[in-house]
Amino acid sequence: MQDKQFECGQCGASLKFTPGSDSLTCPYCGHNNVIASVEETIDELDYQQALANAESGEAMEERLEVKCGSCGASATLDPHVAADECPFCGTPIVKTGTTTRLIKPKALLPFKIKREEGRTAFRDWIHGLWFAPNALKKRAKQSERLQGVYIPYWTYDCRTASDYTGQRGKHYWVTVTRTVVVNGKTQHRQERVRKTRWYPASGHVRNTFDDVLVLASKSLPPKKTDALEPWDLRNLEPYQDEYLSGFKAESYQVNLASGFEQAKQKMDPVIRETICRDIGGDEQRIHHVSTQYHGITFKHILLPIWISAYRYHEKIYRFMVNARTGEVQGERPWSWVKITFAVLLGAAIVGGIVYATQMQ
């Protein structure tokens, strides 16, 4: 994922990838330069082998790390640009850094949503916010700050085998007599009450997982990036530098092993659901689970977002658009002045209604 320039076949100028197409477009003469298709399958890589060969092997590459001193993000810059703005926090960054070895991206989803579509989705989202500071709404007019960035992800495949112990609950009904007082008189009523009888349970279940997606960035809020899903991973393209032309790409900050630990957390609810089905009955309790992971494979992929970041009262807020679907997510500040005014106005209206009612 080295920084590369691609020259226009007609005028020699630098090209940029056109979202929603399979070509690079010249910003000067408008000529479309088609990206050559590659006969390459997007294969899964062996997880254990990658851990054993962490610093060597064909899956690795040398990269110049360009780190933001404010938020710690690592992103590429265009070859002819010496300084730029960090897309994750808006801090100026200079093209200096150290060389490191990283796992090559295996595939990516090219940008599909154009910048102007991203701007429109961004403006609509901002204008739909309640109690937002006026400065935030002015932000929508600064659309040139919307930047296209490829975000690093891991996907994991594996088979799991889980041994468990727990309890199976069976419902049964009993009739009980309750004493109540009605109009000063004591009455006895019979009611049916559901109870649960518990039995010990244990067993063994298996699951198969495909493309468990894990964010490999620490620069973005996971809750917001999770909300950008789903991603159309079936349309992944084999990695080619041409797709990055005109965009930034972040280097992964969550390594392969740490990513798999996060993948385990995503698998756990599915495993527990399988165990509950295996236990059966009307209710289930799980006391202990021991899971083994087999045949682990992975891919390092890049997914596209449009992002805008700015500081408001010394805090960084980020706004993101899924550049495949147009889904918008963002962090936002609240205008406590507007909220206070709304509360006071609401209290005045309620007070007016109460007063009018009493007068009548």
Q: What is the pLDDT of residues 154-188, one digit of tens each?
A: 999 999 999 999 999 999 999 998 888 888 888 88
Phi first, then psi: give them for residue 337, nearest 5 degrees. Answer: -65, -45
Would the pLDDT of 346 be above 60?
yes
Q: How far is CA 51 from the centre of its chain?
A: 25
Phi first, then psi: give them for residue 129, nearest 5 degrees. Answer: -80, 135
Would the pLDDT of 93 be above 80?
no
> Is 305 buried (19+), middle (13-18) or exposed (0-12) by CB count in 10 A?
buried
Look at residues 270, 254, 258 and name the one whose alpha carbon lies nearest to residue 153.
254
Which tens digits make up the pLDDT trace of 264-287?
999 999 999 999 999 999 999 999
Would the pLDDT of 30 be above 80?
no
Q: 287 in helix, strand or coil?
A: strand
The tally of CA atoms less than 13 A away on the side-chain side of residue 236 is 22
Would the pLDDT of 10 be above 60?
yes
Letter string b/e over residues 232-258, b meaning 16 or more CB atoms within 10 A of that residue's CB: ebeebbbbbebbbbbbbbbbbbbebee
Q: What is the pLDDT of residue 219?
A: 86
Q: Would the pTM of this model clear 0.85, i.e. be above it?
A: no
Whether the Cβ atoms of residue 126 and residue 310 lie closer than 8 Å to each other: no
Distance CA 321, CA 304 (A): 9
Determine what percent of the chain falls in helix, strand and coil, rounding each to the nearest 5: 25, 40, 35
